[in-house]
Amino acid sequence: MAKIEIYTTSICPFCIRAKRLLDSENLSYEEIDVSASRALRQEMSQRAEGRTSVPQIFIDDIPIGGSDDLAKLHRLGKLDMLVGRT
């Protein structure tokens, strides 16, 4: 199974939405809360090709984007492929 990482903040509704989608698909993920850490936020931005908004989602170290991007992958049936289900 693929390694999924999601950078979040505690008050972000888009983060909650992305985690709910992952949970609904029974996908395990590592949540990295950047709320109180400038260093973690900078790490996220570097990994996300300069993006600074949360959530930022990575599957096997590949930047996927945010909540809308994850939902689109799911809607198009591509999420299963990325996480190694097909």
3-state secondary structure (DSSP) of residue 64: strand
Rg of the Cα trace of the chain? 12
Distance (Å, whole) CA 22 – CA 19: 5
Q: What is the pLDDT of residues 25-49, one digit of tens each?
A: 999 999 999 999 999 999 999 999 9
| pLDDT of 33 | 98
- CATH topology for the 4-82 domain: Glutaredoxin (3.40.30)
pTM of the model: 0.95
Could you state, in order of their start, the residue ranges of all structural domains in the chain? 4-82
